[in-house]
Structure 1
Amino acid sequence: MNYQAPLAKTVSPYLLWFMIHKSQTGVAVLDFQSRIAQGAEQDSWVSVLLTGLSMHLVVLLMFYVLKHANRGDLVSLHVQLFGRGLGTLLNGVFLLYLLLLVCYQLITYSQVIQALVFPDMGTWRIGLVFLLLFVYITSGGFRVITGTAFWFVLIPSLLIVTLFIPLQYADWRNFLPMFNHSLPEYAYSAAQSLPLYIGVELLLMYYPFIRNNDKAQKWAHIGVMHTYLLYFVFVVATFAYYNMGQLRHSVWPTLGMSKIIQFTFLDRFDYFYIFNWVFVITPPCCLILWSCTRILRFTTRMSGRVSLWATAAVVFVIVAVFHDMLAIDRLGAVVRYAGTSLLFGYIPLLAVCVFIANRFRKSVRDSEA
């Protein structure tokens, strides 16, 4: 079965490319190079590509389980497989994960602005401004969020051209010697690159709103490929610009490269780079808020508008509370661990449960016949 929302609420299948890609990009692009280099060092690009390729399998499993959901999303599948009680509990856990994910995105980006642009402005004030923007876009519905994701993929893509300026100072010997690391070191870099792909699981919520969703799988794979090729470009540019010693002491390597870019009409290009990152984090944050709203509407009797503002209020409280660096680092560790466990642990387990349930139903029908 393939459940689909009313036609007026759906979007064209090719837009799944932009939804998948945009949901996987966020603040992690600013500093992931330092983390992955702790394992395989200059060979970490291999781990990034291998991890990206593994995401195709995750997408296949998600399409498999969603095709067997009564209403085409994760919240209905939980109730369908595990009953109302346990299914509601699992939906609550997924809701908590989404809340922490959007809070981490918002807190981290607020920290970047606070550290480099407005040091005297509180994190909660910066977070409130962007949270109101996210609520405004999310209140327009899924089609508005999709249109935002489409344009917010195209606009930041223009920044890729600016990577050629730091490459004028590249030292390609930084990649030597190649392939001289052990398997555990590659595995460590791969584990550090897994959080880069967190966000693709949002497909579990908006799948019914993709028109002809049973034929849209190729666009999801294109979106995944777009993501890991983009990360590969960033890794190559970063490793060519920094040596390993410099990279270990760089907090935000991507922003560090942008600081050397200067134009006659724009002296601090890194400011432009920082604020352009609004286009990067807005679509995934809006998708997360929209998904939280759907979960609340499914499990409670709250209306869409009330559930959206309730979700925003909880997010704002968490953003205002987390101002200690140690607490923020722990929040990031929890989000990365939960997202990785969801993608490579829970989704395969869910696919196994769906397979067993289908075989059981088939055996029951055969026995009755």
Structure 2
Amino acid sequence: MANELLAEAGLAPTALQAVAFGQGPGGFTGLRVACGVAQGMAMGLGIPVLPVVSHQAVAAQAGGGPDDAIVVALDARMNEVYLAVYRQGTGPTGEPAWDTLQAPLLIAAAEVAPWTAHHLPAWSRAAGRPLQALLAGDAWDAYAAEMTIPAGWRRAAEARRPEAASVARLASQAWQRGETVPPELAAPLYVRDKVAFTTAERLRGEGGNPKAQSTLAPVCPQPLTDADLDEVVALEANVQAFPWTRGNFTDALAAGYGAWTLRREGRVAGFCILMFAPDVAHLLVIAVARDLHRQGLGSVLLDWCEQQARERGLEGVLLEVRPSNVSAVEFYKARGYLQIGLRRGYYPAEKGGREDALVMQKRLDAAAAAAPAGASA
């Protein structure tokens, strides 16, 4: 099929400069096939790949503008939805620019409308203007009974599923920005970790299929104190191969770094630590409890860090991330972070080795500096 398409366009495979693919989220098998085909073609031709988030492709089909929060809801089956929210603007040279208001997450269909209504004021404050909900994706029809649309919200009814032309346009824009990925590092974007219970879980009475946990309980970062350290150190050790030590956290607090926790149901669900430089905020560490991944808590923490930087008049947020941590790299890219450098041998690795660090930065919109603290929580 690929050869036929190239022949129709009068191109040879050697004319290709990159291979784009829709990376999801979506069905496990389809995502693996799409990624595998893209990797195989790219490796065979010695060219990079351009992963495109499926929700952003649908958002690009919705025809929204800078006053719209484009709420893309794709059917995830089992009365659940893959949800993401975007705002389209214009870059410094007139090219389309996208702001990811919410990276893809899994949510119960019945919670989509109230969750969106809860967050819409915060997105408006961050944008510096009132935003209107523009709804796209096939889930609004698939779960019409559960996802009642409030008055005043608009539908982009033709934007239902990602189309190849939309993926191609977004990939072309990413190509022009230099946002390619080596084929061996390309990966599908999964937000559902499992689709069936284990035998042991079924024996405990956990029948049916695993359900998305509720996203409606409001969470707001609170200052990290010495009383939180036992939980924070344990969480860090559980999610990192080379975790911060208790001494590292104690030193950060003593140095006056910005440090916050997120609590859910009485326990620490996540945390972040920022060092404020004269021009940027340096995100030193951020983590969410493993069993609470894919529920938007990482986005809450990152939004909080960005707001803290804005309130101090800083130009952006800087961070380092392992290239091998593909899901984290994709998460930051989806939130507008771009690679600006590489630190050689920055991280410890297995068997006494070292791993490079990607240096990523997001420049912040000064117009949003007046948004009140906690607006994203």
Instruction: Select the structure with the greater relative contact order (CA < 8 A; seq sep ≥ 6).
Output: 1
Q: TM-score, normalised by structure 2?
A: 0.24
**Higher helix proportion, which one?**
1
**Higher strand proportion, which one?**
2
Q: TM-score, normalised by structure 1?
A: 0.24
